[in-house]
Structure 1
Amino acid sequence: MNRTAAGKTRSSPSSPTLTPLLRSDLHDEEADISTPSQPLSWDSLRRQARQLENEIELKLASLSKFGATTTARQQQQQPDTAFTDAKDGQEKEIDQLLNKLQETINSMSQVLDRPSATPTNPSMMHMLERHKNILYDYTKEFRRVKANIRAARDKADLMNQVQNEIRIFNAGNGDNADYYLTERNRVESSHQMADMIIDQAYATRQDVSRQGRTIQGFNTKIVGVMGHIPGINNLISRINTRRERDTLIMAGVISTCIILIILYWLRT
């Protein structure tokens, strides 16, 4: 019992000494995990941005040559899968380089946002804006080149399709040349007949116009004669008056006869 108690009394002082050591080790591990990696400096980021810009410029020039070659191959009807894959790979590389340049510019902006780590000056701000403008120009140029390649490929495909359709049409209609020639002769005959009918119609119209002018001349002469001889107007007016009087007399006689017939019919 005494030995056991002594063992307990000896082991009890050692336990407080282990706890601080364990805590210090855990604290050191947490400090190592929480400590961030050191960011790149301004100079290294600037060199990286320039390198990416040079690579993008070379890739864009190469992609433009790909576009011209694509148009020539499409016009010559020489499809090449390897060539298309190379062009697609070139576009993918340029896209990746643009993304890397964007990330580099963002890192440069973050460096300038920490004035305690790196003292900023107007030249650094100007350089950052210049890199942003270059990125914008390269992105715009990349989209323009892609659009031009796509438009050239679509145009060449359309031209090839039209040429193929014309070739097929000519090949299929070679046997029907005689039939089309006969139909053409019939159409020309119909046109000639229509022209003859139109000429006859114009001639008839001219005759009718001539007769109308002749009748109008007669009327003019009659009016002139009546103007020179005033007695004719009086004679014509008397004739018209007598005709009206005769008409009234005939109407009265007919009415009287009808009335007498009705009365006779009623009495009987």
Structure 2
Amino acid sequence: MTELVREADRNSTIDGSIRPSVGDTSTTVTSPMTAGQLSQLHTAKRHREILRDYAQEFRQTKAKITANREREILLGSAYRETSVNNGDRTLSTIGVGNHRGQSTATRILLEEQDKYHRSNRMVDDHLTAASTIRATLRAQRIALRNASGGLHNLTARFPRIRQLIGKIDWRHRQDSIILGLVIACCIAFLLIYKLS
């Protein structure tokens, strides 16, 4: 923190030394000129423009460095708090919504980090659920394969069971055909109703 104070003092010193220099050049340029001082006038104008450009660039760079430093401090402290707690508490319980002394940029960064952590947790939950479903489907596939193998063994031993399974398959196909026809008729009636 003392480092930031020293840096701010140094920046204010640089700003203070630039402003009087700009003032001196402007008073020099506005004084009455003789014919021989025309080249000096041009040089002074050029130097003033260069000084103005450098001062503007200095202010922009100073603002960027300050913003980056604040962001680094903010994200570093938030990261340390969440890593210490091992993800037990979210940033909202640390105080994302209770920022009375903090700037809006700080608040926005904390809220953004909170959303990022929540989405990470949600993706992890979805991946865990997907792997569980995959394992369950794999177990069901093995169970169905074993059941169909057992049925094929039974049909090979007893021909009457083969006929029974054939009738069950025919009923299943018949139900599928009837269901398909009903759905096709419903769609046709819906299209006729929409077009008329």
Q: Check whether TM > 0.5.
A: no
Structure 1 or 2, whichever has the larger Rg, is: 1
Q: TM-score, normalised by structure 1?
A: 0.32
Q: TM-score, normalised by structure 2?
A: 0.42
Larger RCO of the pair (alpha carbons < 8 Å, separation 6+): 1
